[in-house]
Amino acid sequence: MSAEARAINFGAGPSALPESVLEETAKGLLNFAGTGIGIAEISHRSKEFTAFVRNLESLIREQLDVPPTHHILFTQGGGSGQFSAVVLNMLARHRLLRPELAEEDRVMDYVVTGSWSKKAAEEARRLGGGRVNVVADGRKHSPDGKSFNNIPPAEAFTFSEDPALIYYCENETVDGVEFAHAPGPTAFPFERLPKTGLIPLVADYSSSFMSRPIPRLADHAIIYAGAQKNIGPAGLTILIVRQDCVVDVDAAAKLGAVPTPITMSYKTLVDSGSLYNTPSVLAIYMTGLVIERMKSLGGVPYFEQVNKNKAEKVYAVLKEGEAKGKLRGKVQEGSGSWMNIVFDVLGEGEEAKFLSGAEARALKGLKGHRSVGGIRVSLYNAVSEQQTDKLVDYIREFIGQ
């Protein structure tokens, strides 16, 4: 297929990648860094590849302003792998700090604002080793009592005194709910966190990583993301881990903590420079190319502005559609995501009509997640403002009928 025949991909992940990166990847598949060996064929221990990994790490550090207190690590297993890994590593850390606590007194705080944080909390319950406390649940603040359509008010957040971890998902990809980055009623209530010691704050940034700066990054214990939304293909998981969360998981297990598989231990990743076992070489390569391109365009601040413009345009046309009684946004004002905008098309058969009209214009990936239905527009970094304009024009045409 020629580049001209490519569709505009609004899919939620795996998702659009810049064409220049795909072309560069094709070259790297034949000959990586002048070695005469393709990137999918070269040893992950070769000096060329290890240099590439170290450079990727420093590009991320630079663009997100990650302080020296935090490691940048690469692993596999996706966001779901981290649902387990954060629990195991943070329970191990807590066990070493508070070995005397009984299981029911070892608490893991979860903020549940959508399908992904709900799943993360379920995994924590499944693994055991501590009790899950739901700090706030978005469903309780929705009109029907069962929809994830809002960020709960700050007063609803009641954190435990000394939890093993405090978990939140910054952007809920399925439900389109996101914490605001500017201070205000839908920002993460950092001011309500426990005041003592280093806060074990864990954030799932899977669907907004490197789309804009991370508020209060240095106050987080762990931030993680799968690459397959904004910065690469599936297969690579990126972690930002504060030094105090890199613990001897085996020493903790001897004290009774749930054992941590060796590849999930953050200490293993730190000690091996993220190369304990064979990493996802190709995914790392493509992510590196994306991030180099990001830097050449102006880095995270540039993408923040473009992403803001894109989201504002889609929310504006959604408002027009609501005024005409054709569309209905699913998320409360102030809680809407920049990355995944979700709405219903009103009227019998209208959604199918909307989707087939979009398809005819090569606007793809718009169907909402199978669990919630409706329409979802994902506007990750590789979707340009011009491409977004095409979708906005189509929506305007559709609601004008």
Ligand X SMILES: Cc1ncc(COP(=O)(O)O)c(C=O)c1O
> Which listed range, 187-195, 203-211, 238-246, 375-383, lies at the site for ligand X (CB under 6 A)?
203-211
Establish if 206 lies at the interface with ligand X (CB under 6 A): yes
Task: Give the separation between CA 123 and CA 3, rounded to whole angstroms.
Answer: 42
Residue 27 CB, nearest approach to ligand X (Å): 27
**Subset of residues 69 to 88 that bind ligand X, contact rule: CB under 6 A:** 78-80
Toward ligand X, which CB reaches closer, 165 or 395?
Answer: 165
The one among 204, 239, 286, 321 contacting ligand X by CB under 6 A: 204
Residue with the closest Cβ to ligand X?
78
Among 100, 17, 85, 76, CA closest to 277:
76
288 binds ligand X, rule: CB under 6 A: no
Per CB under 6 A, 169 contacts ligand X = yes
Task: Give the orientation angle of helix 281-297 with respect to helix 299-323, to 10 degrees.
Answer: 90
- Token digits of residue 55: 């450079």
* Contact flag: residue 11 with ligand X (CB under 6 A): no
CB atoms within 10 A of CB 30: 11
Kindly state whether residue 138 participates in binding ligand X, applying the rule CB under 6 A. Answer: no
Q: Among 267, 276, 271, 274, which Cα is nearest to 249's?
A: 267
* Cα angle value 372/135/329 (rounded, 5°): 30
Q: Rule CB under 6 A: say whether 236 interacts with ligand X.
A: no
Among residues 42 and 342, whose Cβ is nearest to ligand X? 342
DSSP 137: E
Q: How far is the CB of 228 from ligand X (least distance, A)?
A: 6
Active-site annotation holder among 109, 175, 204, 344: 204
Nearest to 337 by CA among 144, 219, 208: 208
Catalytic annotation, pick one of 109, 116, 267, 344: 116
338 is catalytic: no
- 229: annotated active-site residue: yes
One-letter amino acid of 259: P
By CB under 6 A, tell whether 331 contacts ligand X: no
SS (H, E, C) 104-142: HHCEEEEEECCHHHHHHHHHHHHHCCCEEEEEEEHHHHC
Residue 343 sits in the site that holds ligand X (CB under 6 A): no
Which residue of the set 229, 267, 326, 330 is catalytic?
A: 229
Using only the alpha carbons of the chain, give its radius of gyration: 22
Q: Contact between 176 and ligand X (CB under 6 A)?
A: no
Q: Does 207 bind ligand X (CB under 6 A)?
A: yes
Q: Give the nearest distance from C-beta 205 to ligand X in angstroms.
A: 8
Near ligand X by CB under 6 A, which window of 19-27, 87-95, 204-212, 324-332? 204-212
Give residues with Cβ within 8 angstroms of 148, minimum separation 6: 113, 114, 115, 118, 138, 139, 142, 172, 174, 175, 177
- The residue behind tokens 């990809």 is 173
Positions in the binding site for ligand X (CB under 6 A) = 13, 78-80, 116, 169, 173, 204, 206-207, 226
Q: Any idea which residues carry the catalytic annotation?
A: 116, 204, 229
